[in-house]
Structure 1
Amino acid sequence: MKFAISYSTPFNGTDPDRLVAFAEHAESCGFEALYVQDHIALYPGATYGAGELPPTLPYFDPLDCLSFVAAVTHRILLGTGVLLLPYRHPVVLAKRLATVDVLSKGRMRLLTVGLGALPGEAHAMGVDFGTRGRRADEAIDVLRLLWSGGPEGVGYHGEFFDFDNLCSFPKPYGVTELPIHIGGSSRAAARRVGQRGDGYFAGGMLAENERDLQMELARKTAVEAGRDPGALEYTRWGSIDISAEQLQEFTDHGVARVVVNLTTADPGRQHDQMSEFAERFGCTSE
């Protein structure tokens, strides 16, 4: 089992010194990765999940934030949970992601993308909320095409993106393409995993039988698409105070990575929680 930690600016605030101390301590504890969240813009009355999102919640741009984290760490991987893909142009995004990966020497490796759930956010970005799934599918294809393309250039002609003879450099650090995980909690998201994803970061308040069904759907869809179902990584949210029994249940359901959330906003206690977790579950800083 791999363990990652989530840093939430709505929860922790935007003090850069606090972010640095958090990231450095997470790395010293042996956490595999640090994940950050994403919203481009909020608005009064925006609702998601259990309730309304206060419009003053401060969300850093995730890639700028992860670049900052990369500059003060050495080993910890960089993750998004999740990057709202339909609201970003993939030609620009391919360059930004490759840049972070090169500057971090290959640590931008836990990119997770999602569709977004706020219609007002989509409208503000000029995106038809109802087409964001198809737009995300094309964006994934464009990212991989640009990363793998050579100096002769590549072309793409889709519903949302269209170009000829395009070159995107630099390339990701030492690889042809960056892994792209899919975030979500629906059967449509599971099918997207099988068709295009390198893993599933499952969210939502779902029963375990529905989660199992979705992972099985992802693997079945991968087979139908001619892809290797065994290569799909399964990531789940968890609490920093997760029990060994709960963790074993995750393992029994095929979970390969747990991204833990902290239960306190106090910086000192957060560091204590990370240290205690690392000691309980044998994290090592390598």
Structure 2
Amino acid sequence: MRYGVHVNSGSSVTDPAVLRDMAQLAEDLGFSTILIGDHVVPARQIQTPFPLKIDNPPWAVYQEHDWPDCFVTLAYLAAATQRLRLGTSVILLPYRHPAVTAKMFATIDRLSAGRLICGVGIGWMQDEFGFLGLPFAERAAMSDEYARVIKALWTDEHPRISGRYVTLDRDVNFGPYPVQQPHPPIWVGGNSLPALRRVVSWGDGWQPVALPLAELEQKIHKLRDMVEAAGRDFNQLEITTLSMPDVSVAAARAYAALGLHELSMLTTTDQAPQLFAEMRRFADTLREAAG
């Protein structure tokens, strides 16, 4: 089981020296992936209920910390690293026109020589949708259509799209195209049954968050059944999740036993010394768990 690091906000992703040093330390420690979150304008006082069943939701992360643009950040990381896979976890598909998203993703895949992972989700923060002028109730339908538009632009030199939100009835000069073929992997974020359906329909991987091990195991079995019923090969999917830095060796082994491909560390501080220490402990734990 591979291991990665997930960062969202604060000085760990806004201070260029800290971000560079964190990414290079990740490579030195054997991390496989660095993942960057996505929000544009969270409210100072969020009214939307938190989507995960956890105690003490991290409201301050959304309401007080800086959230740099994930695409620009990944481009910076592409130049600062050699081996790390670079991913979003997750971009919110309705927030940008799919041609813009497809272009930015394809460009990063080019600049990184094929190291991009496209983690995507439908979004949950109704306050933010309102500020952006987007219909919150249509976010699932928008995401499904946008994902198909993105894949069409990546893989078809003559795409034709006639959808509810996007129409393309003529040839366009889209390039550059991604390095990875047929396209960079798309990881679908979310814990719900509709999220699993999206994996089956157009995803290449699944990234749930904050699921207890027993529930995670049940949903992996459910996903396997759904994928096989659709005639797809379950073994071609990547399944990943996120963990706190203090994960135990036993828990890491339990995740691996479920067949997870990657476990990524959620950062709990944006202070460089503490962050780097967390990364070292996490890497030590995952290496010990692997035996």
| TM-score, normalized by the shorter chain, greater than 0.5 | yes
1:162-173 equivalences under 5 Å are: 162-167=167-172, 168-173=174-179
One-letter amino acid of the counterpart of residue 222, structure 1: V
> Where does residue 233 of structure 2 map in the other structure?
228
TM-superposed deviation, 1:264: 4.3
TM-score, normalised to structure 2, is 0.89
TM-superposed deviation, 1:280: 4.2
Distance 2:220 2:94 in 1: 23
CA separation of 1:277 and 1:42: change in aligned 2, threshold 3 A: closer
One-letter amino acid of the counterpart of residue 114, structure 1: G
Distance 1:164 1:219 in 2: 37
Distance 2:9 2:58 in 1: 18
Aligned residues: CA RMSD: 2.0
Distance 1:74 1:86 in 2: 31
Show CA shifts across 1:226-269 (max 9, x none).
Answer: 32222121101112221111011112222111011244443123
Choose which of 276, 283, 287 in structure 2 pairs with 1:282: 287
Distance 1:52 1:5 in 2: 20
> Where does residue 7 of structure 1 map in the other structure?
7
1:109-258 equivalences under 5 Å are: 110-150=117-157, 153-167=158-172, 168-204=174-210, 206-258=211-263
CA separation of 1:217 and 1:134: change in aligned 2, threshold 3 A: farther
CA separation of 1:191 and 1:216: change in aligned 2, threshold 3 A: farther
One-letter amino acid of the counterpart of residue 201, structure 1: Q
Show CA shifts across 1:188-230 (max 9, x none).
Answer: 11121122111110014x3434323322332233233332222
Choose which of 96, 99, 103 in structure 2 pairs with 1:91: 99
Structure 1: gaps spanning 5 or more residues: none
Distance 2:269 2:144 in 1: 37
Distance 2:108 2:263 in 1: 23
Choose which of 67, 70, 84 in structure 1 pairs with 2:78: 70
Percent identity for Structure 1 against Structure 2: 31
Distance 2:64 2:266 in 1: 21
TM-superposed deviation, 1:51: 6.1
CA contact (8 A) 2:13 2:73 kept: no
CA contact (8 A) 1:190 1:215 kept: no
TM-superposed deviation, 1:165: 2.7
SS at 1:111 equivalent: strand
Show CA shifts across 1:39-93 (max 9, x none).
Answer: 0111132143426455332111111111011111111110111111111111111
CA contact (8 A) 1:4 1:259 kept: yes
SS at 1:211 equivalent: helix
Q: Which runs of 4+ in 1 moved over 4 A?
A: none
Q: Which moved more, 1:184-193 or 1:43-52?
A: 43-52
